[in-house]
Structure 1
Amino acid sequence: MYIPRNIDKELLAWRKEKTGKPLLVRGARQVGKSTAVRELAKQFDHFLEVNFEEQRTLHSLFEGDLNPLELCENLSIVSNVPIVPGKTLVFFDEIQACVPAISSLRFFYEKLPELHVIAAGSLLEFALAEIPSFGVGRVRSIFVYPLGFDEFLTAMGEDSLLNAKKKASASRPLAEPLHHKLLTYLKRFLVLGGMPEVIRNYSQYRDMKAAGQLLDDLIISLRADFAKYKHRVPSLRISELFDAVVRQSGGKFVYAKVATEANHKQVKEAVDLLLMSGLVISVTHTSANGLPLGAESNPKKQKMLVLDTGIFQRILGLNITEVLFDDDFDAVNKGAIAEQYCGLELLKAVSCYRQERLYYWHREALNSNAEVDYLAQKGQDIIPVEVKSGKKGSMQSLHLFLKEKKSPYGVRFSNEPYAAFETIQVWPLYAVSDFVRGG
């Protein structure tokens, strides 16, 4: 069973291009990169897949000249698959295991642009760091994350509900039964997360316990990968840092709070490796005095997100009964899981052709401590975003930001329906993607 993904239409559009650049599909382990490519392969007459981790003997084909015509001839003979431009999809999977193969991609564009070539890899960022200019302008990157909430609704067979959600707004709010149904699905999504294997299983059997077991399996597999990151950083230390990210969720990441004998430099290196792997995503502080937001960012002040809320809640050991069945926002947001979800949705909803960064704003002053969870760019405006209860709180941080930065409005995501309070727009938590794409 294949779960339709948002990137499918982008892959199909690329397939129709007469002289498309080779695609480099980038993302963390097990987010569905290879599966999406194999689904695209159904549009071709022939499909040649090389897995460089499994098929080590094929590395030798890339040790000499990287002439694409010669490479195709040899690959065709070895695999017994014809390579015909326009009719064959060539897929290099786990390409990080063969660095010369990464370098070969630029030559496919220069000398054989009619051939459709896609490459992917789970630990690709580590290899790209060694050859940062391997194919500038000659290779197109596409970034893949776990399923977003919209994709989850599709997997659940709720296309009509999804369409209704996309059409809703403050002027056209959803009927209460639809709003409640979406919140019910959202709570499940917070617990399950968006890893394709987990969602595929749940969509078939609707068994939360089985989904939890799959999450445990995934976590074990991800931890086993730590040994592949860098030999100079022990995998145990990386695992400690991963757990520390989970424990410190919702607040500024403090290196000194990490329970390890490593010094600050070693801890920072382990964090950087987790960021490169895509398992951890940083939310960086910025003064937000203008665009781009990164111009005034402070990398010494960061919050950290785990790639997937399902993995996050499983490691944290949340009481999923409270999350699933309690309507109180504080219960739903146990361990800042809703804040994690919101940040991840902000990333997933942007164009898959760029790697978005997340930012937050924090001001520490005497008797005036304020923080805004996220900052979103809308045109030339900086929009402050908070994830808060719809029934509690005075939104002081939002109002303070609006006053200081002269932003036109702020946004609060909550479990309430659409609403507006002067310069504050209230959006339901299930509509983060709708806010990014059109709000």
Structure 2
Amino acid sequence: MLKRRISTEIENYLKSSSNKILVVDGARQIGKSYIIRHVGKSMFRNYIEINMERDKQNDRLFAEAKTVESFYLSLSSIAGDRLGTKEDTLVFIDEIQAYEHLLTLVKFLMEDGRFTYVASGSLLGVTLRKTQSVPVGSIQRLRMFPLDFEEFLWANNVGDETIREMKKCHEQRIALPDAIHRKIMDIFRRYLLVGGLPDAVNTYLSEHNIVKVRQVQNDIMELYISDAAKYEGESSRKLKIQRIYDMIPSNMENHKKRIRVKDIEGKAGKRTSDYEDEFDYLISSGISLDVNAISQPTYPLVQNAGKNLLKLYLNDVGLLTAKLYRNNIKPILEDTCSVNLGAVYETVVAQELRAHGFRLYYYDNKKNGEVDYLIDDTLTMSSLPIEVKSGKDYTAHSALSKFLAIRDYHVKSAVVLSNEQSVYEKHGITYMPIYNVMFFWQDIDLQESELTLF
């Protein structure tokens, strides 16, 4: 079984007396159902799981369950012999977004208090923007993402002692010993190929076969696009969603890396606002990560974010390398000089930061250039610029240097991430190995949480 950090948060919720239902939200195929099932079965004598997508396609027992009484009647028809008390019975409502009325009903199920409830939603963000009747304060939404790098280390049997040593070196701003650095970089490169989608990780661990891993990843990408047909009624909108999604890997290879709206349909004069719903779907469904432009990087960054000049990244770095390199592992594992891995490195950093609750921004200034990422540093109440380098010229960063020279920005420090083992500070910039990004969320203990209330 893959160890996931989110299991502790689910356990803590189930031990609490919250009057809100916990809904674990995120893209398809990231392991939501599996981890809830594992935790639920270990904590409750009676475990009941209902997949509302399957119900909608088959018996439709819950299609008209719009009252507490009718819900219990439908529930008893499939699990009547396992319905005990709130203390010993967990009801897991999987894919809750399949029936919009359930998002309203859960408030009353929680108030009734007959059983303990937890739910998951694959396209909850999409459904919530269409649903007006969700009672305020009835849902506690917990975002879930593919395995982050630390979870991938766990999956590869890297022990807690090694990770503690990595964390200690990060905190002290010193380099790892040579042997450990080489081992972690080897696993990191494999993470670039495999990514963090559980089916891909499990296939890699059992088969060590890139062809089979890529087949899993390609199937998941096809599933992501087919989902758009279910939740976006207009066929033309579905095609535009697919076109934008398909454009993401090639955009990553461009110098600017951001979406050029004129390329979506090949029409001049189009604006970002013309595709607002399509972008919203890609972001809300969790299959794309958005990075918004900032020209005035004052804290908090959200107040200065622009809606134009949007960058989109795939939600999983393994999907990107599947698109870019298919079954060829040499560009990643052998660090081929002729291949620019900048897009891959930027994607894995975006994935890692997003998984740990950071909203993502980048600095865009016509005069000074672009800086890859800005995140809020709540400890210093300023922004933290991050530059990601995949090659040997990791000290060349004119845009970052210009950025730091602007005193009005009140930036306290900056970070450059690269393959290099050494850790040192120069001119306000700390250079460190790219895998150290896994500890940034612990550096900033007040970072924006992914726990939101509705």
TM over 0.5: yes
Is 2:251 the counterpart of 1:248?
Answer: yes
Question: SS of the counterpart of 2:230?
Answer: helix
* One-letter identity of the residue aligned with 1:124: L
Does the alignment pair 1:7 with 2:6? Answer: yes
* CA drift at 1:65: 5.0
Stretches of structure 1 that go unaligned for 5 or more consecutive residues are 351-355
Preserved contact between residue 110 and residue 138 of structure 1 (Cα < 8 Å): no
In the TM superposition, 1:352-367 aligns within 5 A as 356-365=358-367
CA contact (8 A) 1:21 1:138 kept: yes
* Contact 2:330–2:336 (CA under 8 A) maintained in structure 1: no
Q: Which of 420, 434, 438 does residue 433 from structure 1 map onto?
A: 438
Structure 1 residues 424, 270: closer, same or farther in 2, change over 3 A? same
Question: What SS class does the counterpart of residue 316 from structure 1 fall into?
Answer: helix
Partner of 2:140: 140
Structure 1, residues 116-164: CA drift from partner, whole Å, max 9, x if none? 2111122222221122561322221100011101000111111243333
- Structure 1 residue aligned with 2:21: 22
Q: Partners of 2:151 and 2:411 in 1: how far apart?
A: 31
**TM norm structure 2:** 0.87
Aligned with 2:286 (options 242, 264, 278): 278
Q: In the TM superposition, what is the alpha-carbon distance from 1:283 to its structure 2 partner?
A: 0.4
Q: Is the CA contact (8 Å cut-off) linking 2:55 and 2:61 kept in structure 1?
A: no
Aligned to 1:229: 231
Q: % of aligned pairs identical?
A: 28
Q: Which residue of 1 aligns with 2:450?
A: none
Within 5 A, what are the aligned runs for 1:114-125? 115-125=115-125
Structure 1 residue matching 2:152: 3-state secondary structure: helix
Instruction: String of CA shifts for 1:342-372, please: whole Å, max 9, x gaps.
Output: 011111123xxxxx4211111102xxx4211
Deviations 1:100-123 (A, max 9, x none): 1111111233332x7321111222
| Equivalent of 2:309 in 301, 315, 340 | 301
Question: Corresponding residue for 1:375?
Answer: 374
Structure 1 residue 326 corresponds to structure 2 residue 335: yes
CA contact (8 A) 1:288 1:382 kept: no
Instruction: Work out the CA distance in 2 between the residues paired with 1:135 and 1:390.
Output: 54
Is the Cα–Cα contact under 8 Å of residues 59 and 98 in structure 1 kept in the other structure?
A: no
SS of residue matched to 1:416: coil
Please, which of 389, 406, 411 is the counterpart of residue 407 of structure 1? 411
Quote how far apart the aligned CAs of 1:84 are.
1.6
Alignment of 1:203-222 (within 5 A): 203-222=205-224
Which residue in 2 is equivalent to 1:344?
351
- 20 and 428 in structure 1: CA distance in 2 versus 1, 3 angstrom threshold: farther
Matched, 1:167 2:168: yes
- Give the corresponding residue for 2:94: 93
1:33: how far off? 0.8
Q: CA deviation at 1:287?
A: 2.6
CA pair 437-233 structure 1, distance change in 2 beyond 3 A: farther
Note if 1:291 corresponds to 2:299: yes
C-alpha separation in 1, matches of 2:220 and 2:297: 41
Larger displacement relative to structure 2 (24-33 or 227-236): 227-236
Partner SS, residue 375 of structure 1 = strand
Q: Deviations over 1:272-321 (max 9, x none)?
A: 32222211111001134422211111111111111111111212336431
Sort the Cα spacing of 1:192 and 1:226 in 2 relative to 1 into closer, same or farther, 3 A. same
Shift of 1:64: 5.7
Give the direction of change, closer, same or farther, for the CA distance of 1:390–1:106 in structure 2 (3 Å limit).
farther
Given that 1:52 and 1:58 are in contact with CA atoms closer than 8 Å, whether structure 2 keeps it comes out as no
Structure 2's unaligned 5+ residue stretches are 445-454
Q: Distance in 1 between matches of 2:324 and 2:275?
A: 21
**Aligned pair in 2 of structure 1 residues 185, 84: CA closer, same or farther (>3 Å)?**
same
